[in-house]
Chain A
Amino acid sequence: MSRDGQKIDRRKFLKGAAVGAAAVSSTAISNAQDQESADHQHAPSDIALRVKALETVLTEKNLVDPSVLDEVVDRYENRIGPQNGAKVVAKAWVDSDYKARLLDDGTAAIGELDLLGTEGEHMVVVENTAEVHNLVVCTLCSCYPWPTLGLPPTWYKSSAFRARAVIEPRAVLREFGLEVSDETEIRVWDSTAEMRYLVLPRRPEGAEDMNESELADVVTRDSMIGVAIL
């Protein structure tokens, strides 16, 4: 611990972080929101330079191949995202056999669609019903099923969501505009091990005539985390 503490001081990081926090505070509405602003990616200005420096030095030492980094960025910006999870959900809505397999063994059923991968090797799918509403969180870090949902939004990684989802899920859902009745059971899934969770939302009313691909278009990221219904 102390060894790392000294390293931090040596890199003058604290100075940079303090500058960033002060800049954020001037635009924050209240003290309570200062932390949320920090969660919101307002970085100290020198972070971009530091990232560039590390990448450049590692590249010059042949420890990093920038084209590999380009590929990673492209993958998550353009190819992996909630549209993948939406395919899983839409298929489950139109194919009851697939839905049964999906709820029984999420990993195998999502594997059928070739949508497993880093941070989504072991998948569990939990179904919303008239009686049960599911909500996914990771209180310890920000674990999230990357292959099916992409990288998590900032609010999912925020201190407020990580802290509150397990102690007051109904208040959290209310902030997302979702009022869950007292009779409905809420299940909060805290992703503490290697399983990653995907919520199977209820099929919206009025979507009876839609085909699988049209259905996939109505499935939202938030509905697969459990902070929205369709």
Chain B
Amino acid sequence: MNSIHDMGGMHGFGPIVVEVDEPVFHEEWEGRAYALSIGWFPASQYKEWGGFRHNLEKIPPKDYLNMSYYERWFFVNEQKAMQLGLVTEEELNNGNADPNYLMPQLEPHPDSSLGPGRLDLEINAKFENGGVVRAKEINGRAHNRLPRYVRGKTGTIISDNGIYALQDTNEKDEQPYDDPQHVYTVRFSSEELWGNASHGNDFIYLDLWESYLEFA
């Protein structure tokens, strides 16, 4: 989806602020929120990160920008827990489980079982190293991994990273597709992406699923 998370190339965010000797977690809640995302992931019914990422992307832009990284992570898990009926707002407000609350029977989640990792499958590659490709214009409301700043732009395939299931979601943040494809690393010149005022010696590399690309 086209929202604030897709930040590549935006102006106006100011300088990069570096915290010296930054701790892994600034406060205890950050560590707990992080661990809840990792340790509780399966029960939250995000089988894969795609659904989790899509929920992050659906946070309204003004709120997304006001939240820290771990606030966003926590927020989408909290929402998901309520959405699934695992917890109620009242329980969260009270800080304790209601012993009389009846847990819902959850439907099996429709996510693809292929997972995010590299797959040992034989599929013919559409593109080869050195091939010139154009990133498609894909403007769906669901989750994809094709940043706006490369759509419609032309680049060169520099490697084929093997077969991976497409991690796109549908609009309900599910990943029902079993769609394994080659994932290529594509090199774009800064001049192609940002115009002639860019430095001629800067190049941007992205890993892109085959269905994001077409022959240029």
A1 and B193 contacting across the interface, CB-CB below 8 Å: no
Q: Mark A128-139, 1 if CB is under 8 A from B, else 0.
A: 000000000001
A64 and B19 contacting across the interface, CB-CB below 8 Å: no
8 closest A-B pairs by beta carbon, nearest first, are A139-B8, A193-B207, A32-B14, A60-B97, A72-B35, A69-B35, A160-B13, A163-B10
Interface size class of B (residues with CB under 8 A): 35 or more
**B positions within 8 Å CB-CB of A:** 5-19, 22, 24-36, 38-40, 43, 53, 55-56, 58-60, 63, 65-71, 74-75, 77-79, 81-83, 86-87, 89, 91-97, 103, 116-118, 141, 145-147, 149, 161, 164, 167, 183, 185, 190, 193-194, 198-199, 201-209
B32 and A20 contacting across the interface, CB-CB below 8 Å: no
Interface SS of chain B: mixed
A186 and B203 contacting across the interface, CB-CB below 8 Å: yes
Quick check: is A212 within 8 A (CB to CB) of the other chain?
no
CA distance A158 to B74 in the complex (A): 17
Quick check: is A56 within 8 A (CB to CB) of the other chain?
yes
Quick check: is A100 within 8 A (CB to CB) of the other chain?
no
For window 32-53 of chain A, which residues contact chain B by CB distance below 8 Å? 32-33, 35-44, 47-53
| B116 CB, min distance to chain A CBs, angstroms | 5
Quick check: is A230 within 8 A (CB to CB) of the other chain?
no
A193 and B209 contacting across the interface, CB-CB below 8 Å: yes
B71 and A47 contacting across the interface, CB-CB below 8 Å: yes
B14 and A33 contacting across the interface, CB-CB below 8 Å: yes
A155 and B14 contacting across the interface, CB-CB below 8 Å: no
Known: A40-B68, A176-B18. A61 touches B5 (CB 8 A): no
A57 and B164 contacting across the interface, CB-CB below 8 Å: no
A195 and B161 contacting across the interface, CB-CB below 8 Å: yes
CA distance A13 to B33 in the complex (A): 16
CA distance A42 to B12 in the complex (A): 20
A154 and B22 contacting across the interface, CB-CB below 8 Å: yes
Quick check: is A207 within 8 A (CB to CB) of the other chain?
no
| A103 CB, min distance to chain B CBs, angstroms | 12
Residue ID in chain A nearest B91 by CB atoms = A57
Chain A residues closer than 8 Å to B86, beta-carbon distance: 58, 61, 63
Q: Mark A46-80, 1 if CB is under 8 A from B, else 0.
A: 01111111111110110111001111110011000
Chain A residues closer than 8 Å to B193, beta-carbon distance: 166-167
CA distance A169 to B89 in the complex (A): 45
A182 and B14 contacting across the interface, CB-CB below 8 Å: no
5 new A-B pairs (CB below 8 Å) besides A58-B40, A121-B117? A4-B58, A18-B66, A41-B27, A53-B91, A76-B24
A186 and B8 contacting across the interface, CB-CB below 8 Å: no
B202 and A54 contacting across the interface, CB-CB below 8 Å: no
Quick check: is A218 within 8 A (CB to CB) of the other chain?
no
CA distance A118 to B71 in the complex (A): 21
Chain A residues closer than 8 Å to B81, beta-carbon distance: 54, 58
Chain B residues closer than 8 Å to A10, beta-carbon distance: 89
13 A-B pairs, CB-CB below 8 angstroms? A17-B71, A20-B66, A38-B68, A47-B74, A52-B95, A53-B92, A140-B53, A158-B16, A160-B16, A163-B13, A188-B203, A192-B208, A195-B161
Residue ID in chain B nearest A18 by CB atoms = B66
B68 and A41 contacting across the interface, CB-CB below 8 Å: yes
Known: A141-B53, A193-B164. A73 touches B32 (CB 8 A): yes
